[in-house]
Amino acid sequence: MTKVGVLASGHGSNFQSIIDAVKSGYLNVSIECLITNNADAFAIERAKAHGITSMAILEKDFRTKDDYYRKITTELQTLGVNLVVLAGFMKLVGKALIEAFPMRIMNIHPALLPSFKGLHAQRQALQYGGKVSGCTVHFVDEGLDTGPIIIQAAVPVLSNDTEDTLSERILKYEHEIYPRAIKLFADGALSFEGRVVKIAE
């Protein structure tokens, strides 16, 4: 069974969607832990409510960024994690973690990559005048939202959208496609041709 470690920084709604998918039987994976870089993250309450081990590992407690990510890597490896899921983890992942879990770290981004990378993707889409936005689940590499794309969902941008209304509509699709991407990984349905992720039919 795929053992999942979740990294989150805040509210953790995508974390909750993954928990719900496991509880419903849609996802046959084991959530081994939540690691957060924010001791006040609401995601911790979600973990407690479902009996999931959680730990706050704060970068300020480490001498270097490399030391910080080595600590996270050690915790995940100790628990036998083989898929790392970023659920609103608001930091660029360090090299130590990426090297330990090559093409085994997933992230979800609220835009149709490669458009609108980085923070405030919904605001970027509105300011640019985009007519379609959405969300992307991708594998993580050392770039900012540059890893191979696994699955995407498109969401129309309405003329009266604000950053909040667009974000809310996109979030509903995030909660659908993230569990689906994890299921594809757990089922062994993903393969690579170069940087292109192929999904077995």
DSSP string of 113-141?
TTSS-SS-HHHHHHHHT-SEEEEEEEE--
For 28, other C-beta atoms within 10 Å of its C-beta total: 12
* Farthest-apart Cα atoms in the chain, separation: 49
Q: Which residues lie below 8 Å from residue 138, measured CB to CB, with a gap of 6+?
A: 106, 107, 109, 113, 145, 147, 148, 149, 150
109 is catalytic: yes
Determine which one of 109, 120, 138, 175 is catalytic. Answer: 109
The helix (H) or strand (E) run that includes residue 100 is helix 95-100
CA distance 125 to 148: 21
Three-state DSSP at 50 gives coil
Catalytic residue set: 109
